[in-house]
Structure 1
Amino acid sequence: MISNRTIATVLAGLVVCSLAVTPVAGAQQSDTEPSLLVELDDSGDAQVTLTMTYDLDTDEEADAFESLVGDEEAQATALDRFEGNMQSVADTASDRTDRTMAVTGQSVSAERQDDVGVLSMTVEWTNFAATDGDDLVVTEPFASGYETDRPLTIVAPDGYQVSDATPAPDSESDGTATWDAGTDLDGFEVVLSADGDAATGADDTGDADDDLPGFGIGTALTALLGIALIARRH
């Protein structure tokens, strides 16, 4: 039987590495890959979904992840920790944008695909985007020191398109823009405009502040929860 300590170690690893794990070998064979997905509504709120993948190279790692798959209470604990960590990030972003943000846990799923464990967690993030007339503008928490260890995807609400973006996305279609892992996002700003509206320049919002110190989300999570023991990076 897997010990409670082993399960606790797995959970700590899952959450600590939540924004710092790169794709594992074999993940390309699945439709589910490491990603950070931000789906906005027209009020500026967002559903933020983090998907992590883990090599299950040893029997202990595989058994521990299988225990997580079948343990709703353990999954809820992982989601609670992720929610708390994201609220800390939101608090910092709130200070930078002068816009109150709040994070609420929504859902969690864990599944094993061959020798890869896949964990996805979703939170509701209020006031993620600023409103500028009819436009939505996303800057923080990405504009000041965020490092893309996984693809970042912004999805516009129905009836909106990406009208301006800095830096330019690596791929874009139908209101969805994606930046590849490793992209320099310093000064990040995305303007989402209702279909038919003119593009809004990056200097119109006032949300971004070049004088703000860098803020790495992965670093913040590591400081909160310590060293991860399960995630195998490639």
Structure 2
Amino acid sequence: MRARHTLLTSVALGALLVTAAVAPAGATQTADAPPEPSLTVALDADGDARVTLVSTFDLTDESQQVAFDDLRTNETARDAYRARYTDRWASVANETANRTGREMAVTNSSLALSRTNSTGVAAFSLTWEGLATVEDGLVTLDEPFASGFDPDRQFVVVPPEEYQLESVSPGPAISSDSRLVYAADADLDGLSVVASTTTAPAGTPAPSPTATSVGTTGGSGPGVGAIGALVALAAAGLLAGRRG
């Protein structure tokens, strides 16, 4: 199963983790189903975004459960992982800023770990300042996701609060006024999501999957390759170096 990964693989890779919608470290185990692995970009009207990566891990082995629970209660270790991967996302933001000519920065990162039965959930979240462009009441998300980004999990885009989707390309698997959900392995080449401050009449449907893109750039960029690598790292080695 692609979405669930062996927890203690790849000691050398370490761990990148991300999101805000799961229980914080130390939370009580619940009987609820774990969330689906996802990468979510929640846009703000000023072009900033809250980027959240959710990864799940198989904890059927007792030693894996012990290791995961140990990390949940070890604030020093969690802070070290959070700082390490915040720096890596910041590097991606810097590369993207250099290519696009826009000012960008990564701030306010957080890491949350929780466990649902035999599944561990890692949620790493950060604010990416200047990720989207803002002009004439339009917020546009494209780079670095428009150039060769191939998600290995759901990719979700959430427009700013009280904004409506104006143009979407390529079309997602699921769309609504509140979010776009792209399936794992979706082809996002040329991604463009444009949201407008204009309020749509009640009952207006979201843009069709064939909506015309706005402001995209083609080709392959270093930022997107780095994002893919970061997502892979998150899935590969959450507890790397903590075996035994």
TM norm structure 1: 0.77
Shift of 1:210: 1.9
Matched, 1:134 2:148: no
Gaps of 5+ in 1: 1-6, 19-28
Aligned to 1:221: 230
Q: What's the counterpart of residue 184 of structure 2?
A: 181
Are 1:210 and 2:218 an aligned pair?
yes
- Number of residue-to-residue matches in the alignment: 209
Any conservation in 2 of the 1:96–1:212 contact (CA below 8 Å)? no
- 1:161 matches 2:164: yes
In structure 2, give the amino acid aligned to 1:86: W
- Which residue identity lines up with residue 74 of structure 2 in the other structure? D
Distance, in Å, in 1 between the alignment partners of 2:167 and 2:148 is 20
Measured in 1, the distance between the counterparts of 2:149 and 2:71 equals 29
CA contact (8 A) 1:38 1:47 kept: yes
Distance 1:201 1:41 in 2: 22
Percent identity between the two aligned chains: 34
Match among 40, 43, 46 for residue 43 of structure 2: 40
State the alpha-carbon separation in 1 of the partners of residues 135 and 78 from structure 2: 38
In structure 1, how many angstroms separate the alpha carbons of the residues matched to 2:85 and 2:212?
Answer: 34
Q: Is the 8 A contact 1:80 1:105 kept in 2?
A: no
Structure 1 residue 174, shift from structure 2 partner: 2.9
Give SS of 1:169's match: coil
* Amino acid of the structure 2 residue aligned with 1:55: D
Distance verdict in 2 for CA 1:228–1:60, change over 3 Å: same
Residue 152 of structure 1 is matched in structure 2 by 155
Checking the alignment, whether the CA contact within 8 Å between 1:10 and 1:65 is kept in structure 2 is no
Deviations 1:163-210 (A, max 9, x none): 11111111112331111111001111110111337x99534x3xx332
Match of 1:87 in 2: 90
Return 5+ residue gaps in structure 2 as ranges: 1-7, 19-31, 201-206
TM-score (structure 2 length as normaliser):
0.75
Alignment-mate amino acid for residue 15 of structure 2: L
| 1:195 equivalenced with 2:176 (yes/no) | no
For 1:170, the equivalent position in structure 2 comes to: 173
CA distance in 2, matches of 1:156, 1:229: 30
Deviation at 1:106, TM superposition (A): 2.9
Larger displacement relative to structure 2 (130-139 or 30-39): 30-39
- Contact 1:42–1:157 (8 Å) recurs in 2: yes
Measured on the aligned residues, the alpha-carbon RMSD in Å equals: 3.1
Please give the alpha-carbon distance, in whole angstroms, between the structure 2 residues aligned to 1:70 and 1:10.
Answer: 20
**In structure 2, what is the Cα distance between the partners aligned to 1:124 and 1:76?**
17
The residue aligned with 2:55 is: 52
More helix by share: 1
